[in-house]
């Protein structure tokens, strides 16, 4: 969203986050604007009926996260956890808001970003509610590859564990494993060294 040099020039600092570390907790007060430099962050809720986390989104390098409280002064709606050792840029809230006042073109960028995320959430709710496990998993794959550039061979790698897919779809991890194996047999995807790969159009295949 904002280049690292611009963020640093406006007071942002780099923060190393270890795998498993919580960056901020659901319900806590927002103090910073966060942008991921490297690694992977999951944005999740923990107060589900079965006690398991529900992943709202997986954040990739270059993406910001936890922006809502910056604009409405409410608490965080979800927690952010590092899935791997990560590096983030954090800019104090007051400095971030002043930056937007000084650069109104970035305000429009964030308005577009928030609109896109609301649209994506509507899509995911529609695709997951009452749908088969296969359809839920395919929808998650589609949302992930939409944010990625293809690999040199034209494929996309789904950089999510089976547990993360389960936490995003509301399925049991055993169900996810079973469905992915079935999708592999039917040619919907390929698995190499435990990683899931899709070619363009693979998620449209029938299982």
CATH number for the domain including 14? 2.60.120.10
Per-residue confidence at 189, pLDDT binned at 50, 70, 90?
confident
Domain match, 90 and 34 both: yes
End-to-end CA distance of the chain: 37
Which tokens in the block code for residue 25? 């907790």
Torsion angle, alpha carbons of 87, 145, 33, 3, to 10: 70
Average pLDDT value for residue range 59-77: 92
Out of 44-48, 95-99, 107-111, 172-176, which region has the weakest mean confidence (pLDDT)? 44-48
Domain match, 46 and 94 both: yes
Domain match, 116 and 153 both: no
What pLDDT digit, counting tens, does each position of 52-61 carry? 788 888 898 9
Using CA atoms, how far apart are residues 184 and 190, in angstroms rounded to an integer?
A: 6
Claim: this prediction has a pTM higher than 0.85: no
Strand spans (E) along the chain? 13-17, 22-24, 32-38, 41-45, 54-59, 64-65, 79-82, 86-92, 156-158, 190-192, 195-198
Beta bridge partners, 65, equal 34
At 34 the pLDDT is: 97
Give CA separation, 29 vs 33, 44, 120, 130, in Å.
12, 16, 25, 34
Average pLDDT value for residue range 66-74: 92
At 116 the pLDDT is: 86
What pLDDT digit, counting tens, does each position of 89-131 carry? 999 999 999 999 999 999 999 999 888 888 877 777 776 776 7
Q: Give the up-direction half-sphere exposure of residue 127: CA atoms within 13 A in the CB hemisphere.
A: 18
Using CA atoms, how far apart are residues 6 and 22, in angstroms rounded to an integer?
A: 26
Domain that holds residue 153: 133-204
Per-residue confidence at 163, pLDDT binned at 50, 70, 90?
confident
β-bridge pairing 86-92 and 32-38: antiparallel
CATH number for the domain including 192? 1.10.10.10
Domain match, 118 and 139 both: no
Average pLDDT value for residue range 173-199: 88
Per-residue confidence at 188, pLDDT binned at 50, 70, 90?
confident
Residue ending a domain, among 88, 107, 127, is 127
Q: Tokens 């899509």 sit at which residue?
A: 123
| Predicted confidence (pLDDT) at residue 203 exceeds the cutoff of 50 | no
Counted domains in the chain: 2
Per-residue confidence at 48, pLDDT binned at 50, 70, 90?
low
């Amino acid at each position: 969203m904002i280049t690292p040099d611009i963020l640093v020039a406006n007071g942002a600092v780099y923060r190393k986050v270890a795998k498993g570390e919580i960056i901020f907790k659901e319900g806590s007060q927002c103090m910073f604007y966060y942008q991921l430099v490297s690694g992977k962050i999951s944005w999740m809720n923990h107060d589900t009926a079965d006690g398991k986390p529900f992943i709202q989104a997986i954040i990739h390098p270059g993406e910001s996260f936890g922006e809502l409280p910056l604009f409405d002064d409410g608490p965080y709606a979800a927690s952010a956890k590092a899935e791997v050792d990560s590096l983030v840029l954090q800019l104090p809230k007051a400095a971030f808001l002043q930056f937007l006042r000084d650069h109104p073109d970035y305000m429009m960028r964030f308005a577009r970003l928030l609109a896109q995320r609301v649209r994506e959430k509507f899509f995911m709710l529609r695709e997951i509610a009452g749908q088969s496990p296969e359809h839920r998993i395919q929808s998650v794959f589609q949302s992930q590859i939409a944010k990625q550039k293809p690999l040199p061979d034209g494929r996309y790698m789904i950089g999510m564990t089976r547990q993360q897919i389960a936490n995003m779809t509301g399925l049991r991890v055993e169900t996810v494993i079973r469905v992915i194996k079935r999708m592999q047999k039917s040619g919907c995807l390929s698995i190499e060294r435990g990683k899931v790969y899709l070619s363009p159009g693979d998620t449209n295949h029938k299982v």
